[in-house]
Structures are given as structure tokens and as C-alpha cells.
Structure 1
């Protein structure tokens, strides 16, 4: 018999012996049933019946020992057999050191948890003298709970035994043996549940902080800009389900949820927030759930296993996990499984992972499973077949973007102590919000949580100065998306091309589609163009594979179900076009087409990348064409923007046309106007029927005086009431215009 088995037998015999002595009031050294044998012998009971009674009690002791071996012989795998045996012996010795058990059990009202508390109180010095480590202490506590449940049950089964006739004694002992053998009964089940509840608490405490940081996964950032407290930065947002915005927590009533969204939409952040809030029991209505988080990109060459739900974040406590604990949590339905990054699994292995998810859901139908992924043309069909509800994370609205920037800077401040650094962060927030008022590209980037956070971080780390270096910001964000984030996160790179080659292919595609006025590239034309753009370095690469890789990993392009390609971000698309214009020397052709105000941002991006004679030539060409075409006086806005000068005086008709057709152009021009013209700017900005005017209106309301406030009369019909109240909280009801000044669509 091994040392652990010997210790388990000793514990079982000790518990039965003490219970027997408590039931009979007779204490006898040696055998398990010594007390009962003495009582029966005193009543003249024959040796045969005494042996029958003794065997019944020995069976009870053996059953208890067997249960200890079954339950704790395989758990706490970090402890060897001898260490576990020492713990079992320690529990037996603790019971041997107790005063008469009858008094303790009665004082505890036959409740195991009360008895366990009293035993701990009486034997605390013995435990401290053992100098157990954490694992040994946890095992001791679990065994003590189990032992108290066992001995309480046995005492109840033996109650009044000394006053019964021999047949009744044997019958009662037989019933007790069967009851103990058939367990765990109520008391033992309570001890088992207490042990599992204790591990659940340990698990929650251990993993609660594992996902409590937001991480931008960008090596070029400082530590405090890259990682910051999620709780301080998180902005609660709605998801779109069946065409309507709903809180994501409302969708957790659906036991199967597929959460989609483009690159940077906030899927990982949302899952981290859910996990951390539930682990800390801080998410109202979901305190009972046990959360599990599995980053799927770790499983590039094998299928995930159930144990991975623990080891993904709790590797150091996995050895303490009760056998089958994960399965029981999933089976009982008090669990939330968060599976992140299906799109990060290599495409050849993705079907295997989806099959595993389906089997997981089928086997544990009561568990709630949330799967997050970038859009994939095949996913809606799979989700319908697998019973998943589909919801999408939409871009942030203007008010959300503004709040996001405020919360990001507040989160960075949490860990800063140096007064100068704190003052710089406060200044950065103010400067960035002001920059949004006068730069269309920044306003668009702010709608995406990832690009908004990168904008905040790069600006705070002085890597870009906004708004002046906004094109440098676009370059950095594009490079980060193309390959930097995946490399930092350890995601398998399936693309054969280095960064510059990927950027060249993307820029060629963007320029081709823009020059041909194509918003969606058809599959056949797309693949021909990619094959043409790939050059010698990628000549052997399958164009379809390259396009799929760029779509799945960069987020700069998107494929639909038919294989057509689009650029989801117009600003980043235009930046890629501008790279190709500069590299291919298409500047003159662009300047000649600059009468199209939809090319306004593109021209500015090209101008920012030119230096010396090429920059001067572009401005001269634009100025010459503006002078030759006085009817298109708005073109002078573009010339001034290239030279960072205020905009020119425009007629009321030209302003009204700009406000309707190209609001971003007019907003950026008005934002460059000097403070002396604030009243007129406020009047003109109020006429713009577009959300892009809101940051400028907010800046005017903050910095202007009473006259400016009086001139702010936006038409409420063109704005979301929530956005309007957020940006202009002090706006009086009677200050809202009934129609757009200067005419336009509001008439």
C-alpha cells in the first residue's frame, strides 16, 4: 500500500472511531469499533455479532478512505504523493487532538461548515506548526471540510446506537455503510461544492488582473502609452443587432454570440472588459458567471482543449484545479466562454477551430459562448448553422470619439506621478481635441477605437505633432496595421511579402481604383491588377492568396462574399493613393484635376509629402488654375490649405454650396480662421449640415465670448440630439435655428 493510501486509511479509521466513541460514550484504544465493541460486550452480545458490527464500521472507514483517494489522489498535481500523504495525516492528527466529538457536533447543530470552523479554531496551532506552502494549505483546507462532512454524517448515522437491541444495531450499521458508500450525500456534496467554490474564488482572484490592461501592441510607443488601465479607458458602446443598437450585455442572454467588426473596432477591448468585470464580480447581473478567455491565434497547429480555458490565463494555478472543474462549470451553465480572434487563425486551420467550437457548444449547451472575429464572407452562413446570433461593432459617433479621447488621457494619467508628465498629458488632450476641429482626416480616424488610440498615443509620445503632422500620422498608422501589430502579438504571418511590398501593392490598388472611379473592384479585374502590381519579388505568389492575406490581416481592404474588394477607410485609402501619386510622379495630373473638391484631402496629403521644387510646383499650379477659373473660387481654399493659411472670402452662394456638398472642406477652412473672426466663423459653421462641424462648434463655444455664443445657432434637424447636447451643453433651446442660414437643403 502506498504512503497516500496508508494515510487515507488512517484518516478514515480516525473519523469512524471518533464518531463511534461519540455515539456510544465509550472510548477504547486500538480498533476502529473499539467503543461499540465494549458497549455490546457489556450487554452480553456474542462475539459473532460483535464482529459483524465491527466489520460494518470498518466498511464505513474503508469507504471514507477510498473517497479521499479518489478525490484527492489525482488533484493538486503540483504536489507529489508523499506531500499529499503528509497533508492527509495532518488532518487525521488534527481530529485526534480534538476534545470529545459529541460536544463539538452538537454545538455545531450537526452542520459540517460550523464544525469545520470550530475545528480550525481549536487546531490552528497544529497547522501553523506544519509550515505548509500554499498548495499544501489549500489541500488541507479542502480535506478538513470533507472530513467534517463525513464525520457529521457518521455521527448522525450512529446516534443512539448504544440503546438499541442487537438486530437494530446491525441493521442501523448496515444502513450507514450503504449510505456512506452511495455518497457523496448531502453533507459530503456540500464539502465538495465548498472546495470547488474555493478554487473558483482562487481562479477569479488570479485572473482578474490578467486582462485589466488595454494594449496597443506597438513597439514604437512608450510603456505608459502602449499599456494603460482598461477600467479607466473603457467606453461602453452599443453593438448593432438586427439593425438596432443594443448593449452587448443584453445580448448575453443569447447563449451563442458572434461579434464582428473591422480591424480596430474594439472587439478585443470589449472581450477584455467583459472578462475583467465578471472575474471581479463588478458587472451587475453577471456576478454568478465564471469567465474563460481563449485567444485563438495561439492555436495555429492544433485544436484547443478544455484545459486551455484555464491554462490560457491561469497556468500557475492549473495544478490546484479540482478534476473536471472546467467541465462542470460549462455543464452547469454558470460560465461565459470568450473566444477571441478567429480571423487570426491561419486560414488552412480555421475550419478545424470552427468545428471545435461547434462541438464545444453541442456538448455544453448551457454555457454562454462569445466568438469575436473580423468580417469574413463565410461567417454568416456558419453562424446561422451553428445557432450563433450575429452582432456588429459599429464606428464611434462624434460624441463617443470625443469621450474616448478624454478617457484615454485620463487612463494614462492613472500611472503617472511626475508633475511635468501629467501636465503634458493634459495639454495633449486639449491640443488633440482642438486638432479634430480643423482636420477631416483626424475626425475620420477618431471614429475607429484603434486608430483613435494610436493617434492619442503617437501624439502624446511626441512622435507626431498634430494637426501639422497629420500625414505622418497616417503613414505610421498604415505601417502599424500592415504588419507591426501582428508581429508584436505573435500572430502567424501567412503573407510572403515584406512591409514595403505590401504597401506597394495596396497603394497600386488604391490608385487604380481611384483613377478609374471604382469603389468596388470586381474579382477578375482585381486579381489581374494584383498580379500586375506584385512585380518580380511576388511573381510566384498566388494573387488570390495575397489579396486574402491583405484583407484578413491589415484591415485596410475588405473582401465581400463574391470576392470583390473595397477600402473601408476613405482616409487611409486616400493616403495610399497619395503614396502612389508621389512615387509615380503623377502630381501634375492630380493638380489639373483639383477642381474636384472630392480630391481636396488627397491633394493635401500629396502636398505634405513633397519637398522643395516639387512642393512649390504643386502650389503654383493650383494657384494658377484658381486665378484662371474665378468661378471656382473655392479652389483657393485648397491653395491656402497647402500653405496653412486662413481661407479666402467666399460668396454666400459658394459657402452654401460648400456647406452642403463638401462640408469637410469648409469646416477645415473655417477652423484656420483667426480668433478675431470668431463671430462670423460661428455663424458660418452653424450653417454646415454635417456632424463634421460639431468639434469646431464646441471649440468656438468654449473659447468664444457671449457674442460667439449668440452666433451659434445650429439647425437641430441635421444633428443627433445626443451629439448636439454633448458638444454644446450650454446651448439654449431658443438658440437652435429653424433652418440653415444662407439657404440649402433645410429650406
Structure 2
């Protein structure tokens, strides 16, 4: 028996009629009051209007328990235990008659918390019960409370001020009931899934944060403590919100391709989504079965991508052989699967189309599941999976708040004084180069560790930071901790680097992110004869074990394979090996491949003057690639300039000139290419194009029309260039981008103004607000606000007529923060309470736009908002209450692509 899932197996048709008997059909006067009714007045088994006897109450409890035991399909409890559970359920349900809360408060509380409260108020109900019986009591009570709340939301006397909230709650509760029912495993599979759930928690419930093992802190953080919720930016289709929490992307859409640069947190997000399936408070994913499929592991040693029945064995899950026959098919056929495919970029480019076909076959066979695919931005083209129903999102760089949160939590985890944390945050704000680096969790952890290790001193550039990190990992950590003992292997820092970079470069040359353990040992065996001082200390196997255990750079994802703790270190050391081996022709020949981009950048950093000249000129003068590949090469060379501390001025000028030919961008692909290059392109982005000069009208009417068309085409090209330039700069969200974006603040095109307004949350609220937002033309432009600080800034600019709420607000905050007399158009894309009374406080509100995922919305409460003329709703939402609206009020359907 699986008591934890008993309640979920009781369908609505069984439980709802029983629950309705617990409550009165109607309460006199209940529909006339202006506040919700107390639960104690709704029950049918107490008070003057009592209609349910104790005997009938007991029969209801008996039916719930009997149905629950039957639903498990497992061995039943002894009959005396079942009777005892029935008495306990009846006793706990009677507590409803003493609850000091109203129905709306109960709905807000949630069914799990309501059940917990009923159990805590009837502690003697389960005295003397066995552990299984106690769990059965809890499960039945949880389900009863779910249906109780569902009943509350369906009451006709659920007062007008809560009607909108009623619709939302009804839909949410219905979805919860149905999803819980469909996600419960069959009795034959439940024991295995329970064990698999524990495996997922153990496997993915911890996170290695770089630098924690270099101080007094633990080597791993529990993911619950370590996880930092980052934002994702939706694509231009409008299917996903413009900006949303990355861990909610699968709540917004069932198929998502998520892009993110190295170290941005893609794999950590995959871990978080996997363990969310085991957490009851994560109802969007709870009960689904996660399959975490890192492609670098699946393709290890040239292996073929696995069929669904091989998912577990392909990732070396130790209980793979125990899965029941046909289990994977039961899971995927019923839509219970959460398939997390991590790292399209970590397999060779030639293999990615095979991976796509593999994915398409899986989706066509099992379409009803949820799918997440992650990749570096440059690994696959835009809209790569759109034909398969995927939407795209990009992990946004860490915001200032994210960085501050990470730094403070890192120092707390290591037990280091807050003084170091505050000093580091000041350094990140003051030093632009440092601030540009601290935009993802990997680099933040690295910077924290170096800052602490060096007593507050930090190197400036990326190469210097990596050099310092390697010194800290490979040499200083063991020496300063006194790890070495007589007779142990002692290898100097230079030899450490020489050995590890050989492994790194072999993996890069062979297009691998993992390496067979045996190949790694053989490669070391070939290198040891050239290093006699190292060779005399042990065999290749012993040296390998030393590097694995002591360097902190290598790890074994399985007993047969090895990889780097992060791809960034592999690229950095591989680039060093390539430069030392004078392998420049090979670097140039592979520079067009996305897997080599970071290697090329680091190779430029490692090179000397003449080597750097050879490498960069070779890249920009290649003629054996497609035009698209040539564009990438020119932009890559421009990105390398930040690492070229010394370079021939003519070479620098040629690199800048060739990159300049791609600027301004004229298409979305060109804008994305610039985004991938990063902050270095900000110096190349132009000022906005000027409008074409007015021309004299020729006499010939045909010429007039032709010139008019040419003028329109020129204006459209100029507007496109401005839009895609702004699009690129807003995605390179550094302070330096504000200067570029401020040039476009007076540009007339609505797309440009929309993009400038939408980007506010990516930058400092005050600086960006004063430099950009305050100057935007308000015509037809909704100003999105994601937090109270932005709303306050809007008010300080005199208010704006059109505002779009995209963050968490309550009605009081909104009314207090906005200029009420200025607001004529309000767009709500997030929830603000469950009633609309506060809209009456906006005296000139002409248009209200409501974004909602609910299939139904009751608009009757909006009849009280007298100034309102237009109510805009998404297509597909069923509307009721239109007959109550005043004659001047109109319901309008938004276009799907509306912004």
C-alpha cells in the first residue's frame, strides 16, 4: 500500500457528492453581506440549521476511507484498523464546525495546510493507530480538504467581491485534482517510482558551488539552500511572457528550448526541475517522472542515443535494471514524463541533427509529456525546434539583486565575515571589468573564492582570474592546508597544469565533454616519460587518481568516465595547450564551430604578440566558410580583442572594420550573433539612423510614386536597423549598454520604444529610468513595471497614461504608487488580488487589458468601474457576466501576438 498517494486516486465523481453533504445548500442572507461567510456557519452538522446527523457523518467518513483503501489496489489494512481510521476521519472533519476563518481565507490557505490544521485541532483522533493507518488518515483528509475548497469556490453565495478569485481558484483546484489523479502510478509501479524518487533527490539534490571547498565551508550545498532563481527572457513569439522565473518555463509551456552561456545555470536548473517532481509544494511538476539526460553522457564513446527503455541505464542509474516491465511506456504514454535534455552544445555539431531526429521521434511517439532542451546560444540556430512545438527562452544574466544574493549566501555558507561580502559587492559595482564577469553563478562563485583566498585582492581580467583560480586549486590549497604527508604524491603547479591541459585538449580536438577513464590514464602514461620527477612518484593510474582527488578540476560522472567540473576550465586549459603546441592552423580551421568559440578567445589571451597576430588574421581572412560562418568569424575576432592586451594596430583596425560591416544588425539572426559576442560589441553599435532628407517632388506622377516607395523602404530599413540594434544592446545587460540605449530614447518607432521600455528590469532602476524611461514618447506605449521601485520612478516622472503590470503587486501598492489621474490604460499580466474594487479608484481608466491563462472569466464586477470603456481579453477565454456591463463598455479580443 502507498498511503501517500491514496487520496489522489479518489476521483471527483466519488468525493464531491460526499463532501457536499457536509455543508448547507444555502445560508439565509449570505449573498447580501459584503464579506465572506465563516466556515462554521456553512457546515450541516451543527447549529440551528443542522441537517446532518452524527451517524450520517460517520457514513461519509466510512465511504471516503473504504474508497481510498480500494483505490490503492494493494493489501488492505485489518478491518479493525479501517474502522479506527473511519472514526479518526469523522473526528477531524467535525473540526470544520469550529474553524475561526471564512471560506475565502480557507481557499487562500490551500488544501494541504487546511488538512494540517484540522489534524492539529484533533490530535487525539489518531491515538493508538499504526503508522500505515495514520498515513491513510492524513491522505484521506488531504483529499477531502481539496474537494472542500473546490465546493467553497462553487457556492452561489461566494460574494461578489471574490467572484474573480473564485474563478481562478476553481480552475486551479480542478487542475490540481485532475493532475494529481493522472500522475499517480499504478500499483505495480508505485514501489519502483518511490525508490526512483529517492534516487532523484539524492542524485540531483546537491550542488557543487565553486570555491566552497576552498574555504571552511562544505564541498556541496543542498540544492534547496543553494538554488538561485534566475530569470528567463521569452522569444518574440509572445507564447512565453517577456520575462519570467526560469523554473517556471515549463509551467508556461510544455516544450521549451532554453539557451544560456557557459556557467549561466542551465544544468542547475535541470537539477531543480528534476527534484521539484518530488515536492508537493511544486504542484506544476509534482508527481511527474523526471528523466535527466545529459547528452555528453548519452553519447559517451560514440554511443547511440538511447531508446526510452534505456534512459536510466544510459545515465548509469543504479536501479535501472529494477524498473518494471513496460514502466517507461506507462509513464510516457500517460503524459507523466518530464524529459530534461541537457547540453545540445556538448555534442559535436555534426551529431546535432541526429539528436534532433531522435528527439522528434520521441515526441511523435509520446507527445503529451513536458520537454526541456538546454544549449549554449550559438550551438543551434534560432527557431531550431519551433517546428516541433518548442518555444525558445534565454537565461538572463544575473541581476544586481541576484549577484548580491549569491555573494551574501556564499559567504554565509562558508562562515566568512559579512565584511568580505560587502567589500566584494562594492568592488563588483566599482570595477567595470569585474562587474562584467560576475553575471553568472560560475563566475560569481569563482570571484567569491578568489576574493576570500587573496584577502580582498582580485585580478582584473578573465584570464587573470582563471590563472589565479588554477593556482589556488592546483597548488596553494593543498600546501596551505597541510594536506601533503610523507610518501604522498607531490606535483608542482606547472606539472599539474601540463598534465591536465593534455586531457583538456584531447577532449576538445575530439569534440568530447566526457572522456573514457581508460583513455585518460593512457594519455597520462604517454606524457609521464617527459616528466621524470612526476613519473617516479607513481604509475599513470596513481597520478590520475591524484589529479582527480586533489585538483578540484576533474570529476568522474560514472566509474568509467571523466570530465571537468565545468566546460569553461576545459576550454581555458585546452586553449593553453594549443598555443604551447603552436597548433594555430588547427585553431583557425575550427574557429567557425561554436564549440571552439571560448577556446579561440582564451587562445588569444594565452598568445604572444606574433602568435596573436597570426591567429586573428587567419580567422578573419578565411574564405572557405559560408557567408553566415564568415559573419560569425568576424564577430568572434572582435570579441577576442578584449583579451588581446598587445596587438598590432593595423590588425586591430582590420578586425574592427570587418566586424563593423555587420553593424548595425538588420535581422534577428544578426542581432543574436552580436548578443553572443557580448559587451565588446557595444563600442561598435551606431547612433540611430537619421530620417531620409526631404526631396523635391518631380513632375512625373509615376516618379512620385516610385520615389515614395523608395523613401518608405529606406525608412523601414532604418527602423529595422534601430530596432535590432536596441534588441542586441538590451540583451547585453551591462551598465555600458545604457549609454548605447540612451541614444535611441527619442526614436519614433514603436518597436524601438517597446524594447527600450521592456528592458528596464535588466538594468539599475534609477539610472536606466532617468537615462531612458523618462524620455520615451508615451504615444501608444505601455510602460511595463515589474516592482514597486519602477512604479515609484514612473510617478516621479509625472506618471504615464499606459502602464503594464508584469511583477508581483497588490492593489494597495499599485494605487499608492501610481499617478491615478494620469492612468488611462492599464494592462495586467500578473495577479493583483482576487477582486476589482480598487479599479474604482482610477477616475480616468478608459481601457483594461487582462492577461489570464484561465479558460473562463466573469467580467460582471467591472460594471462598477464607471469610466471603463474597453475590456481587452485574450482570444479563447470564455466570458460571462457581459450582460451586466454598462452600454458604453465593450469586451475586445486581443491578437495573439499583442504586446
- Which fold has the larger relative contact order, with Cα–Cα distance below 8 Å and residues 6 or more apart in sequence? 1
TM-score normalised by structure 2 residue count = 0.38
Q: Which has the higher helix share?
A: 1
